Structure 1
Amino acid sequence: MPACPALFISAPASGQGKTTVTAALARHHRRMGREVRVFKTGPDFLDPMILARASGAPVLSLDLWMVGERACRALLAQAAREADLILIEGVMGLFDGTPSSADLAAKFKVPVAAVISAKAMAQTFGAIAFGLARFRGDVPFHGVFANRVGSARHAQMLEEALPHDLPMLGHLSSTDAIELPDRHLGLLQAAEIDDLDARLDRAADALASTALAQLPPAVTFEDDAETAPLPRLLDGMHIAIARDAAFSFIYPANVQLLEALGARLTYFSPLADEAVPDDANALYLPGGYPELHASALATNARAAASIRAHAADGKTIVAECGGMLYLLDSVTDTQGATTPMLGLLPGSAAMQTRFTALGMQQLDDGVHDILTGHTFHYSRVSTPLAPVGHATRAQSDAPGEAVYRRGSIVATYMHGYWPSNPAFAAALFHGRAF
């Protein structure tokens, strides 16, 4: 069974600085010459972009429900065989969600370092740290790390408030020089932060001398028996994938699966007015921020014509969330400005000021069993199309996102985690699902 130093970075809530600290740790150890593998808990697309830049390696998802316990175990064992350090960034607060970050840390016995934002806080820091460390006895606890500390005296007060047996792992000062900027769906994409590497280097410098920067204890990860290789269900298929600032919500594990199933992948940028390759058998339009780039997408005639031609030829289009919005007649922003889109799906989308859906969901088309995934969006779609199916929510049978089909197009708000059901994923691209 492979063993590797491993640490789980969590917090009492979102917005505490988990990603900043995890990325700083990854960059620090990478600069020390170590191979670092970082995982993100839950269905996040944005944090992994930052973490991949910091670590120099793709960042995969770990989630006991969406990914599954067995697949999580296999991913961790593989990382332990290849890396000198494994870092796992949690989601929300340590005990939030079902399953939670705490469930994941306990299942694989990975020690937890809790990042607590100490801004506008003094001795209460100790109470929060005590609660995180003692709330569940099955969660291994490594210590606490203070973020956004105002001064040396402030740091001293925080440490003095801790129980004597609860380690203080260090602190970062409150400074805009290392904070990661965000917008409505979360952090900015890595490619949008011009000085990202400088921010990561400054953060790595700041924590290099802390106890947190020391290699954590080694964790042994149970290695399941070898699984049979995946059948080449997409052998010979050429799949074009839209990838740019407007379409970037792509799980690395999904890409790896398509390749393992035999597909040849080509990337193109609708924002750069690039065309879908003529010989592509299928097209994947992932989620992202088409609403932020609507005017450019509306004027990029070459990309639009190639997607319309692809659909007219009866070739498969799989569209998720933002990719679905691009196929509609129009998108309206929160100021009321409406921009025409591709017009391949009848209907329109309207952006909202608050998220309209959030949570784990799953699809079952009645033929291929369950495909897990999640939804998170700030828009509402109005369409005359009748859904061909609905996702269901992870914790209930309540209806989730609608699935629409028109000709060779299958579109939904739900982001599928395709390794959860490779046969379902292959059926989508063959046009045989729903």
Structure 2
Amino acid sequence: MIVIAGTNSGAGKTSICLALAAGLRAMGVAVSPFKVGPDYLDPMYLTKLSDRSCYNLDLWMSDKTHIEQLVAQRHGVALIEGVMGYYDGCMADSSFASTAHVAQVLNSPVILVCQAKAMARSFAALVKGYCSFEQAGQNISGVIANGCSSERHKKILEKALKSAHLPPLVGAIPKGSLPTLKSRHLGLSSVGASQMNKDEIENWAQAAREFLQLDEILRLAGYDRKTHHQTLPGTAKNIISPQKKVRLGIALDDAFNFYYQANLDILEMAGAQLVFFSPLKDDHLPPNLDAIYLGGGYPELWAKELAQNQGMVESIRTHAALGGKIYAECGGLMYLCQQIETVDNKTYPMLGLIPFNARMLRTRKRLGYVEVKFLKDTFLGEKDLTLRGHEFHYSEIEPVHGNSRWINVFAVKNAAGQKLYTLGIYTKNILASYVHLYFGHKPEVAKYFVQKIKEC
């Protein structure tokens, strides 16, 4: 396995990970991608470039055993993209839940991505700081210089690292030499990942061949191309699925695509048959669904199309009227509202299944880890259940005046333990919130959810 870390957000680790995934795959090496932290967008690109599902490794939302099991079950090279700067976690006075923390837990070698613009020997000083700051610096085994200006510049950086007895340079990326990615206010654009074609993937692979020392990176990762390093046995799949499965509809298209793969896996193992559908393109739900999972995404970008797809709107409304359960997170919550108001003050009707209106903002409303305690029994969990997750959105919701057909079932705190006013909106058969909950390590939650679906 190998962790690709950065000195900071924007150092270029995402683009370099994508190039690595494409380059190694083109060499015939199986790549199993991972992303440190709660992000959804980078995993979409990593999934596309490696042709394998990407899993999140997050020591705030889950535990050490869970991430060890996830990595142990993968094939070929485990390519792990870090989050923010190497030592950046969920608090300033600790590296807890940082890339460094994950690298230590997995005992994984690390390649540090550094911006090299206008630096010579100072580049070595920068690398030395990361190598010596905490014990996790000892995991740093190689360095990639991003923004290297020339072959001469590359030689200077190599010499500076070698003279200071620091990890070697295993890649030098000239400025502007990597393919560009579509951006969005959450970071990248999920649409960019879905539309990437074979020629674009080859461009990433070519960049890896030209600017990265792929054989040396494989050596650092502990991968032997001659013996084709095999998967280690894992133990995460420890639920025996019941014979009778429930049909769980998963909204998946350009408007709704934020799901933790481990959540989906554990639901399948608990007895859910995942049935994917598109609220944008399908004119009705798949037949015989027992429940619906509406994940996050960008419903505001597709609000007009979602409103115009009346066949799907009526199909979901009928599902709810007949008692079918709906679990919704963030973008899915917005879709359940009466309407969405976009930043240009246009209003589009949505499903109208909860008495709230959603409004897009020009500035970020919320970003951070959260811990949720259930205040009441719901179909996702019983009273006093505690789960962790993440909240990140540029919208807000307001209740429709005079309507009390809902209760709040969440008590929410941030990573520092401060109370937040984040609702868990609950009706008889709908649970919706801005929180993206992570329960991929909690088989009891998946089993409970599936059982409640069966009872309806």
TM-score, normalised with respect to structure 1: 0.90
Query: Of 397, 401, 420, which residue of structure 2 is paired with 1:381?
Result: 397
Cα distance per residue 1:359-402 (max 9 Å; x no partner): 22232325363222211111111125552223332341523631
* Contact 1:170–1:207 (Cα < 8 Å) also in 2: yes
Give how far 1:133 is off.
1.3
2:58 counterpart residue number? 63
Query: Of 369, 388, 405, which residue of structure 1 is paired with 2:426?
Result: 405
348-357 or 190-199, larger mean C-alpha shift: 190-199
SS of match in other structure, 1:374:
strand
Compared with structure 1, are the counterparts of its residues 150 and 353 closer, same or farther at alpha carbon in structure 2 (3 Å cutoff)?
Answer: farther
Query: Of 178, 191, 194, which residue of structure 2 is paired with 1:191?
Result: 194
Q: Note the residue ranges of structure 1 that are not aligned, 5 or more in a row.
A: 1-5
Q: Distance in 2 between matches of 1:293 and 1:228?
A: 36
1:90 counterpart residue number? 82
Cα distance per residue 1:230-260 (max 9 Å; x no partner): 2547942111111000000112212211110
Q: Distance in 1 between matches of 2:157 and 2:135?
A: 24
Query: Of 320, 323, 330, which residue of structure 2 is paired with 1:311?
Result: 320
2:276 counterpart residue number? 267
Q: Distance in 2 between matches of 1:258 and 1:228?
A: 11
* Contact 1:273–1:301 (Cα < 8 Å) also in 2: no
* Contact 2:317–2:353 (Cα < 8 Å) also in 1: yes
Q: Note the residue ranges of structure 2 that are not aligned, 5 or more in a row.
A: 90-95, 224-228, 376-381, 401-405
- 1:132 equivalent in alignment to 2:93: no
Q: Distance in 2 between matches of 1:292 and 1:164?
A: 50
Compared with structure 1, are the counterparts of its residues 174 and 315 closer, same or farther at alpha carbon in structure 2 (3 Å cutoff)?
Answer: same
Compared with structure 1, are the counterparts of its residues 137 and 386 closer, same or farther at alpha carbon in structure 2 (3 Å cutoff)?
Answer: same
Compared with structure 1, are the counterparts of its residues 75 and 400 closer, same or farther at alpha carbon in structure 2 (3 Å cutoff)?
Answer: farther
CA RMSD of superposed structures (Å): 2.7
Alignment of 1:167-186 (within 5 A): 167-175=168-176, 177-186=178-187
Alignment of 1:302-381 (within 5 A): 302-365=311-374, 367=382, 369-381=385-397
SS of match in other structure, 1:103:
helix
Alignment of 1:181-330 (within 5 A): 181-189=182-190, 190-193=193-196, 196-209=200-213, 213-218=217-222, 229-230=238-239, 232=241, 235-330=244-339
Q: Distance in 2 between matches of 1:49 and 1:227?
A: 22
Q: For this pair of structures, how many residues does the alignment match?
A: 425
* Contact 1:233–1:261 (Cα < 8 Å) also in 2: yes
Compared with structure 1, are the counterparts of its residues 108 and 229 closer, same or farther at alpha carbon in structure 2 (3 Å cutoff)?
Answer: closer
Compared with structure 1, are the counterparts of its residues 248 and 177 closer, same or farther at alpha carbon in structure 2 (3 Å cutoff)?
Answer: same
Cα distance per residue 1:67-104 (max 9 Å; x no partner): 2111111122222xx32x22111111100013211111
Compared with structure 1, are the counterparts of its residues 191 and 126 closer, same or farther at alpha carbon in structure 2 (3 Å cutoff)?
Answer: same
Give how far 1:123 is off.
4.6
Give how far 1:280 is off.
0.3
Compared with structure 1, are the counterparts of its residues 419 and 123 closer, same or farther at alpha carbon in structure 2 (3 Å cutoff)?
Answer: same
1:36 counterpart residue number? 31
* Contact 1:170–1:211 (Cα < 8 Å) also in 2: no
* Contact 1:362–1:371 (Cα < 8 Å) also in 2: yes
Q: Distance in 2 between matches of 1:91 and 1:168?
A: 21
Give how far 1:409 is off.
0.9
Compared with structure 1, are the counterparts of its residues 320 and 207 closer, same or farther at alpha carbon in structure 2 (3 Å cutoff)?
Answer: same
Compared with structure 1, are the counterparts of its residues 146 and 370 closer, same or farther at alpha carbon in structure 2 (3 Å cutoff)?
Answer: same
Q: Distance in 1 between matches of 2:410 and 2:308?
A: 33
TM-score, normalised with respect to structure 2: 0.86
Q: Distance in 2 between matches of 1:380 and 1:185?
A: 15
Give how far 1:336 is off.
1.9
259-268 or 352-361, larger mean C-alpha shift: 352-361
SS of match in other structure, 2:303:
helix
Q: Distance in 1 between matches of 2:297 and 2:143?
A: 34
SS of match in other structure, 2:14:
helix
Amino acid paired to 1:150: S
Q: Distance in 2 between matches of 1:131 and 1:360?
A: 28
2:443 counterpart residue number? 422
Amino acid paired to 1:318: Y
2:93 counterpart residue number? none
* Contact 1:235–1:261 (Cα < 8 Å) also in 2: no
Cα distance per residue 1:161-209 (max 9 Å; x no partner): 4353111222111126523232111112211445641432232232354
* Contact 1:388–1:404 (Cα < 8 Å) also in 2: yes
2:379 counterpart residue number? none
123-132 or 345-354, larger mean C-alpha shift: 123-132
* Contact 1:36–1:55 (Cα < 8 Å) also in 2: yes
Compared with structure 1, are the counterparts of its residues 122 and 235 closer, same or farther at alpha carbon in structure 2 (3 Å cutoff)?
Answer: farther
